A and B are shown apart, each in its own frame.
Chain A
Amino acid sequence: MDKKIIFRIFKDKLFKFIVICTSGLVLIPLVFIILYIIKNGISVINLEFLFTLPKPIGEAGGGIIHSLTGTFILIILASLFSIPLGIGAGIYAVEHKKSKVAKIIIFSVEILQGIPSIVIGIIGYMWLVKPIGQFSALSGGITLGIMMLPIVIKATEETLKLIPFSLKEAAIALGVPYYKAILKVILPSAKSGIITGILVGIARISGETAPLLFTAFGNNFLNFNIFKPIDALPLLIFNYATSPYKEWHKIAWGASFVIVILILVLNISTRLVVKKWRT
């Protein structure tokens, strides 16, 4: 064979090799992070860790029940705020596709999606903490809800767009009123797409720390009052990780493990919903 051709084939093989190697290199930090969290986290996790309050410095043991419940309360508040609003706005944007208002809504969603979480934290502080006069779970939940909102709207809009028009026509031909056709026919058939969007949104906000710094603020005690400060897993990780105490670092690793598992479960269930929808 010509030497030139051999060289070209060699270059081709070399390039493929380099591409595979560099891609593999990216996985190294991932593997390291996951292994590190498992190694440091799993030794801390037990029932006591999950169901007790933290102990003062120097005492062994102590748990994260306050931030676990806090994270769940925040997720529930964020969902209560963003899911109805998101689905409603999504329906409007699809049903009135050609109107100017719908176009502005879609544009606003695009912008909202790109706002850094820390800026949303400032907004949460200005809107909900300053007027109330103290940090609260409610302000944290709604701030997270603002972050979740664009994801829910996008999911609703994109799924509803795919629903065949004939479905709506059929419903209306049967004499179903327009709003009932949407609520009882269109929305149920778009269910899995919207649920996927909601799960993605929850996965996104459950690890979010920055907006909570100025809103939920953190709390070392169990709290179910939404007008009082509340702790969340990411906040606990941040506070404990930047502290100088070894015991707290351990607890933070345990909390990281819990949050990674939570996000993993959410991701897997998203996939299952998508799979169910496609078949």
Chain B
Amino acid sequence: MERIFFKFNKEIFSKRGDLKIAPLNNTYNWNLRQRIFNIVIFSMGIFIIIILAGILITLFYGSFPALKKFGLNFFINKEWDPVFNKFGSLPVLIGTLLTSFIALFISIFFSLSISILLGEYFKKGGFSNFIKTSVELLAAVPSVIYGFWGLFVIVPLIRTLEIKLTLPSYGVGIFTASLILAIMIIPYAASIGREMIELVPSDIKEAAYALGATRYEVIKKVILPYSKSGIIAGVFLALGRALGETMAVTMLIGNSNFIPKTIFHPCNTMASVIANEFTEATTEIYTSSLIEIGLILFFVTVIINLIGKYIIKKFTIETRRENG
């Protein structure tokens, strides 16, 4: 009996999805339609893969002249000089790393405290909903508006600060861009952190409470160590965001292709140099160098994203398995 049922099942849901039992109303050619449907969804699926492959091939193809001309020196050369066709990405790479890591450093404290607040102190209720909605709203504001706001509010503030500190008063610069970037990435790290903290099984928390631990001690000695890898993954994903963020940074970083002396100097990130110069690039090697920067950006963000997602997936599955 079981065997017959299995066979029946297999026939209906066979891989091609063909229905073996002829329908009563035989005026339609179901089989043909079925085949067309299968082909259509298959080709749509394949098309997604083609898009991704196409992106990779296009980036490689576009950056080929620069790859050939500069080779590995592209990473080491300090000069970015379109007039003399000299392109080295070192200033841009330094600018990108500095802005992203300063932003990460500023945001980590805030995003951690929001994840603790929403994951442990206020899991439900009005206050929690209010904070959650606000943080989601923070993520929904378009990047160009952050840049615009930063240009009119943060830049004058930074400029006064710089005058007080007797620094060159650019206003725009790495620090300004990092500040806005920090605000922009807090929601991502915070929402992942909250999910990871919520995954911590309640029995181990209860065990700690039963031993007489205060809530602070439970958070510090049980929750954070347990969800550590997940929280780090959240930080990773936020870093991926920060590296690829374009508009706000373009408007606030000052766009100068020199290695910055301090973090108050203007600089450029990989994304902002592309945004600023791509439509102006006249020579082939210029465009090609910009595309190569795009290629580097692509690989860095994709790898960071995949690592972050992998850690989260592993953590989630392991936690679920351990706790049924």
Contacts and interface: CB of A to CB of B under 8 A. Distances in A.
Do A and B form a real pair? yes
B44 A119 contact: no
A242 B250 CA distance: 10
A102 B44 CA distance: 11
B168 to A, nearest CB: 21
B244 interface: yes
A241 B148 contact: yes
B166 to A, nearest CB: 27
B33 interface: yes
Interface residues of A, number: 87
Contacts of A175: 21, 23-24
Contact of B116 (A19, A101, A117, A242): A19
Interface string A237-256: 11001100000010011001
A9 B290 CA distance: 57
Contact of A214 (B55, B131, B142, B278): B278
A78 to B, nearest CB: 14
Contacts of B18: 178
Interface stretch (B80-88, B214-222, B316-324): B214-222
The secondary-structure label for the interface of chain A is helix
A102 B45 contact: yes
B202 interface: no
Contacts of B47: 85, 89
A109 to B, nearest CB: 7
Contact of A33 (B17, B146, B309): B146
Contact of A12 (B183, B215, B274): B215
Nearest to B55: A123
A164 interface: no
A93 B45 contact: yes
A122 B59 contact: yes
A114 B42 CA distance: 24
Contact of A119 (B17, B117, B183, B298): B298
Closest 6 CB pairs of A and B: A207-B142, A116-B244, A88-B44, A114-B305, A179-B37, A92-B45
Interface of B: 12, 15, 17-19, 21, 23-24, 30, 33-34, 37-38, 40-42, 44-49, 51-52, 54-55, 58-59, 62, 109-110, 113-114, 116-117, 121, 131, 134-138, 140-149, 151-153, 183, 186, 214-217, 219, 240, 243-247, 251, 271, 274-275, 278-279, 290-291, 294, 297-298, 301-302, 304-306, 309
